[in-house]
Amino acid sequence: MKIIEWFKPWIEKIKKLLLNRWFRSAIQISILALCAIYLINNLQSIKSAQVEFHVNFYLLILSCGITICTVLLGALGFYLTLKAMIIPINWIEAINIHLQSNLAKYIPGYAWQLVGKAYLTQRRGVSVRLVGLAMTIELIQLLLAGIFVTFLSLPVGLSASWRVGNLISIFLPIIRVISFVIFLLFPFCVSWIISKTRIINQNVSTNPMILFGASLSILASWVLFGYSFWLLGKTFFPVSIDQLPLFVFTLAASFLIGLAIVIVPGSIGVRESIMVWFLGPIVGAPQAVIIAAFSRVIVTISEILSAYAFRIVTRKWNNPKVLEVQSNPEQRDEL
């Protein structure tokens, strides 16, 4: 208790700093400036290296299409998490909330994506405690699946170049097994904890199988996302199938690190710098910059298209006129 009491003043000071708009802006500008300098330095080598590339539009469209599928799989994972928590929101509303909140992360500020998702879910009549619990579980599922994919796809040759590469290579098989077991057991463990602690309701418990389905949906999203990133690299350069694990690892690691730096909107600049850092030594720094830049464009386009296309497609289900005609048999007969 004495240790906790000693840390409390420091925690309060950190909270105040993070809530200070000027402090947050200074950190954001500093991070973006450092990432911009790093990317520009690597980008300048394109001219000196005389990098030539040709665009394969078929692969570019395929990469974008698969990225859209990953966005929808993430939305499905959110819906299944809500369903497992016995939260009364239908699949159209849940997926729409997830897709719309994806766009909020590009707004300058502090974790607008999470704030937007919480606000939209709460508007459907769900209690704040349930919303917070469901979003926490979804975030942990996302992290566990991403960590497992990162360790699973980590190339041994890449880790060998690090200072602790030999140590990682020795324990990598064990780390992979442990991360996989934790990922598999999490839905059942969290369901057991909720039922025992009666967090939700004394008469209601979570459905571990549905929660497990949400985890699988998120895992499939990570794997497909890495594959689409590899296709994007192949769109511009002769990337071999042997480099697929490297691209999957780079994609997963860059997104996980970007998620940790929530103070930067959409991890702009941070994610791209990490991609160049991992891919540069293998495919070349200029090539890595091009791939990372187009990755940002493809992800942004995919999230925008997913959000607005889903609203257009599902508009007929939310159209009061259509529902009124279908619910009135006399009017339907007259028509």
Indicate the range of 63-77, 118-132, 241-255, 279-293 predicted with least confidence. Answer: 118-132
8 Å CB contact between 110 and 54? no
Mean pLDDT score, 324-328: 40
Long-range pairs of 45-51 with CB within 8 A, sequence gap ≥ 24: 45/285, 45/286, 46/286, 46/289, 46/290, 49/284, 49/286, 51/284, 51/286, 51/287, 51/290
Q: How many domains does the chain have?
A: 1
Structural domain contains residue 323: no
Q: What is the pLDDT of residue 29?
A: 62
Q: What is the pLDDT of residue 182?
A: 96
Structural domain contains residue 138: yes
The whole-angstrom distance between residue 248's C-alpha and the CA centroid of its chain comes to 14
pLDDT tens across 184-243, in order? 999 999 988 887 776 555 555 678 999 999 999 999 999 999 999 999 999 988 888 999
Q: What is the pLDDT of residue 327?
A: 40
Confidence band of 314 (pLDDT split at 50, 70, 90): confident
Structural domain contains residue 257: yes
Confidence band of 284 (pLDDT split at 50, 70, 90): confident
Mean model confidence pLDDT for the chain: 76
Q: What is the pLDDT of residue 87?
A: 79
Indicate the range of 60-69, 117-126, 252-261 predicted with least confidence. Answer: 117-126
Indicate the range of 70-84, 125-139, 218-232, 316-330 predicted with least confidence. Answer: 316-330
Phi, psi at 201, each rounded to 5°: -160, 150
Q: What is the pLDDT of residue 262?
A: 64
Structural domain contains residue 334: no
Report which DSSP code applies to 218.
H
pLDDT tops 50 at residue 46: yes
Which of the pair, 312 or 148, is modelled with greater confidence?
Answer: 148
pLDDT tens across 62-121, in order? 999 999 999 999 999 999 998 888 877 888 888 888 888 777 666 554 455 556 566 666
Q: What is the pLDDT of residue 16?
A: 60
Structural domain contains residue 189: yes
Q: What is the pLDDT of residue 122?
A: 63
Q: What is the pLDDT of residue 20?
A: 57
Structural domain contains residue 332: no
Structural domain contains residue 258: yes
Confidence band of 26 (pLDDT split at 50, 70, 90): low
Structural domain contains residue 64: yes
Which of the pair, 294 or 103, is modelled with greater confidence?
Answer: 294
Which of the pair, 58 or 89, is modelled with greater confidence?
Answer: 58
**Helix, strand, coil shares, percent, the chain, to 5:** 80, 0, 15
Q: What is the pLDDT of residue 192?
A: 86
Which of the pair, 91 or 265, is modelled with greater confidence?
Answer: 91
**Contact residues for 141 (Cβ-Cβ < 8 A; gap 6+):** 77, 81, 186, 187, 214, 215, 218
pLDDT tens across 146-183, in order? 999 999 998 877 766 666 666 777 788 899 999 999 99
User: In this structure, how many other beta carbons lie within 10 angstroms of the beta carbon of residue 244?
Assistant: 19
For residue 209, give its domain range. 2-317
pTM: 0.78
pLDDT tops 60 at residue 278: yes
**Contact residues for 70 (Cβ-Cβ < 8 A; gap 6+):** 221, 222, 224, 225, 228, 302
Question: What is the percentage of the chain residues whose pLDDT exceeds 70?
Answer: 64
